[in-house]
């Protein structure tokens, strides 16, 4: 693991205890509805196991388990502190949890019917490699479903969103989580992240096809669904 990846893992380990509360505050509670939308997209995948990458505290895995209770579900994250919280949240489900690096997944090719992630891709040191790994472990005909924060396309709203994200969110992070750095990193990572159409192109370049995407949250989050 590189120094940058180690720093990101350490950051998520530090904020694990406040992660859910901060998500609720930053999105006015809308993140739960967004994850349910991701879970509905996962339900369209062929029958078979699901891998939830960067499962964090388990919110998306929990939504998938509720939407598709018959599926075998594996949640992976590189932060043990996040996984400890996920284990509590998912103890009544069939989900299995393990520590794993999204850039070097410990699974054979074509293992899963669906691979999903929420708020993972913009944190990857090598986005192309991460998408290639997701494609590798997905069965032919399976689905890759990703969800992440993006900059809005509307110029005025983009400016307002940028002010909120760069000024207000770090202040909330400092007050609630005691970690301004982590919540300064968050908007900076979004600024570097491809726009939805560009991300769709990268998914196609990774060997995925029939890539569909839509935005939610007034254009501030994007849901991509692709076939392997």
Mean pLDDT of 205-226: 97
Q: Is 158 contained in some domain?
A: no
For position 5, what pLDDT does the model report?
83
SS (H, E, C) 128-195: HHHHHHHHHCEEEEEEEEEEEECCCCCHHHHHHHHHHHHHHHHHHHHHHHCCHHHHHHHHHHHHHCCC
Q: What is the mean pLDDT of residues 7-32?
A: 92
Whether 171 is covered by a domain: the verdict is no
> Whole-prediction pTM value?
0.95
User: What percent of the chain stands above pLDDT 90?
Assistant: 93
pLDDT at 46: 96
Answer whether residue 1 shows pLDDT above 90: no
Predicted local confidence at residue 8, as pLDDT? 87
Residue 185 lies in a domain: no
Pick from 200, 208, 203: which is nearest to 138 by CA?
A: 208
Q: Is residue 167 one of the residues assigned to a domain? A: no
Average pLDDT of the chain, as a whole number: 95
Question: Is 72 among the domain residues?
Answer: yes
- Band (pLDDT 50/70/90 cuts) for residue 51 is very high
pLDDT category, 16, cuts 50, 70, 90? very high
Give the model's pLDDT for residue 54.
96
Write out the residue range of the structural domain in which residue 53 sits. Answer: 3-20+28-149+193-227
Strand order in the sheet with 209-216: 96-99, 73-77, 50-53, 112-118, 138-149, 221-227, 209-216
CATH number of domain containing 220: 3.40.50.150
Answer yes or no: is 172 within a domain.
no
The answer, yes or no, to whether residue 74 has pLDDT greater than 90, is yes
Question: Do residues 176 and 18 lie in contact, with contact meaning Cβ atoms separated by under 8 Å?
Answer: yes
CB 131 within 8 A of CB 206: yes
Domain count, the chain: 1
What average pLDDT does this structure show over 119-139?
Answer: 97
Mean pLDDT value across residues 65-88: 95
Arithmetic mean of pLDDT, 66-83: 95
Q: 3-state class of 102 per DSSP?
A: coil
* Closest alpha carbon to 14 in 204, 178, 194: 178
In a domain, 40, yes or no: yes
Q: What is the DSSP string of 14-65?
A: HHGGGHHHHHHHHHTTTHHHHHHHHHHHHTTSPSS-EEEET-TTSHHHHHHH
| Residue 77 CB-density burial (10 A; 0-12 exposed, 13-18 middle, 19+ buried) | buried
Residue 106 pLDDT class (50, 70, 90 cuts): very high
pLDDT at 144: 98
162: in domain:
no
pLDDT of residue 3: 75
Q: What does the CA dihedral 201, 187, 32, 30 come to, rounded to 10 degrees?
A: -110
């Amino acid at each position: 693991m590189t120094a940058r990846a180690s720093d990101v893992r350490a950051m998520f380990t530090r904020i694990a205890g406040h992660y859910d509360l901060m998500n609720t505050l930053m999105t006015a509670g809308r993140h739960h509805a967004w994850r349910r939308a991701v879970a509905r997209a996962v339900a369209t995948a062929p029958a078979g196991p699901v891998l939830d990458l960067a499962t964090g505290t388990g919110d998306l895995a929990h939504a998938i388990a509720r939407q598709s209770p018959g599926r075998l579900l594996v949640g992976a994250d590189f932060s043990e502190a996040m996984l400890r919280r996920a284990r509590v949240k998912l103890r009544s489900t069939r989900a299995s949890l393990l520590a794993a690096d999204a850039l070097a997944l410990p699974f054979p090719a074509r293992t899963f019917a669906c691979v999903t992630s929420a708020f993972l891709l913009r944190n990857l040191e090598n986005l192309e490699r991460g998408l290639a790994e997701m494609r590798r472990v997905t069965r032919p005909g399976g689905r890759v479903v990703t969800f992440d924060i993006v900059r809005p396309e509307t110029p005025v709203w983009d400016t307002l969103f940028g002010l909120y994200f760069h000024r207000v969110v770090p202040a909330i992070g400092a007050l609630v989580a005691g970690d301004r750095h982590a919540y300064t990193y968050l908007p900076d990572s979004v600024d570097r992240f491809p726009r939805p159409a560009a991300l769709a192109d990268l998914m196609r370049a990774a060997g995925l096809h029939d890539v569909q995407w839509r935005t939610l949250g007034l254009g501030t989050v994007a849901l991509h669904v692709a076939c392997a």
